[in-house]
Amino acid sequence: MTIYSEDYFKPDWNEIIKDFSKVQTKIWNKDLMCANIIKINEKFNDCIYRDAPNEAQELLYRLQNLV
């Protein structure tokens, strides 16, 4: 069990996943190259399994920059 100090902010998974899905849908609809999207998506899923919300948030920003 990980204990976080009260000054530490742990991002909310639900918000990250919701935003990630929205951006991913926009990209697929624009017919952009999907190789990068697939790589980012695989890394994002790995973050979920490893409980790494900070890394997932970075992937969300990378995905948003592709739009």
Q: Report yes or no: 53 and 17 within 8 Å, Cβ to Cβ.
A: no
**Model pTM score:** 0.56
Query: Residue 1: is its pLDDT beyond 50?
Result: no
Q: What radius of gyration, in Å, describes the C-alpha atoms of the chain?
A: 13
pLDDT digits (tens, 9 = 90+) for 10-57: 788 888 998 888 887 776 666 666 677 778 888 999 999 999 999 999
SS3 per-residue string spanning the chain: CCCCCCCCCCCCHHHHHHHHHHHHHHHHHCCCCHHHHHHHHHHHHHHHHHCCHHHHHHHHHHHHHHC
Res 20: pLDDT? 87
Res 4: pLDDT? 53
Higher pLDDT, 66 or 21: 21
